[in-house]
Amino acid sequence: MSAVVVAWTPDRFGTAAVTYGVAEARLRDARLVVVNGSRGDALVDEEYAGADALADLDRELEGVEHEIRQVVAADVAEAVVDVAAEVDGVLVVVGVRHRTTVGKLLMGSVAQRLVLEAPLPVVCVKPPR
């Protein structure tokens, strides 16, 4: 069974991505694989979901065939692509946000790297204004 892969963060951007991912999975009759990652090079990373946020997401996804994974890797985008290859992914969904040039220099941009590197189609979604 093919899968829709969602690169998720525990914030409104991640929620938007998951919402779209669920709809897309239903349309394609695929399962949903949610990936949450961090570079793991800071003590605290707010984009890395804690136990509570993971449990909340799991509850929200009830009724959809799904799987949630967490990865710690130097390049989170690459890790998402690897997961997609492993689970027979047909599509990657990622939430995008505004980043300044300096912000990108310092923190990098997982979404940008996904769009450029992933061998499968990438859908970028934005939370409603």
Partner 1 sequence: MESLGLLAEGLAAAATPENLLYAAIGVFLGTFVGVLPGIGPAMAVALLLPVTFGLEPTQALIMFAGIYYGGMYGGSTTSILLNTPGESSSVMTAIEGNKMAKKGRAAQALATSAIGSFIAGTIGTLLVVFFAPTLAGVAVRMGAPSYFAIMVLAVVLVSAVLGASRMRGFIALFLGLAIGLVGMDLNTAQPRLSFGLPQLADRLDIVVVAVGIFALGEALWVAAHLRRRPLEVIPVGRPWMGRDDWRRSWGPWARGTALGFPFGAVPAGGAETPTFLSYVLERRLATGPAAEEFGQGAIEGVAGPEAANNASAAGTFVPLLALGLPVTATASIMLAALQSYGIQPGPQLMGEHGDLVWTLLASLLIGNALLLLLNLPLAPVWAQLLRVPRPQLYAGILFFAALGAYTVNQDPFDLGLLLAFGLLGFAMRRFGLPVLPLVLGVILGPLMETKFREALQISDGSLWGLVDEPVAVVVYVVIGLALLAPTLLRRIGRGTPAAEVVEHEQVGR
In the complex, the residues that contact partner 1 under the rule CB under 8 A are 38-46, 48, 50-51, 72-74, 106-107
Closest separation between CB of residue 44 and partner 1, Å? 4
Report the residue number, 41 or 62, with the smaller CB distance to partner 1. 41
Report the residue number, 19 or 109, with the smaller CB distance to partner 1. 109
Cα-Cα-Cα-Cα torsion 70, 74, 75, 81, nearest 10 degrees, comes to -50
Do 16 and 127 contact (CB within 8 A), yes or no?
yes
Closest separation between CB of residue 51 and partner 1, Å? 8
Q: What phi and psi values does residue 106 have, to the nearest 5 degrees?
A: -80, -50
CA distance 65 to 74: 29
Do 31 and 41 contact (CB within 8 A), yes or no?
no
Treating both helix axes as pointing N-terminal to C-terminal, what angle do 110-117 and 76-86 enclose, rounded to 10 degrees? 50
Report the residue number, 25 or 79, with the smaller CB distance to partner 1. 79
Within its chain, how far is the Cα of 112 from the centroid? 13
Report the residue number, 7 or 32, with the smaller CB distance to partner 1. 7
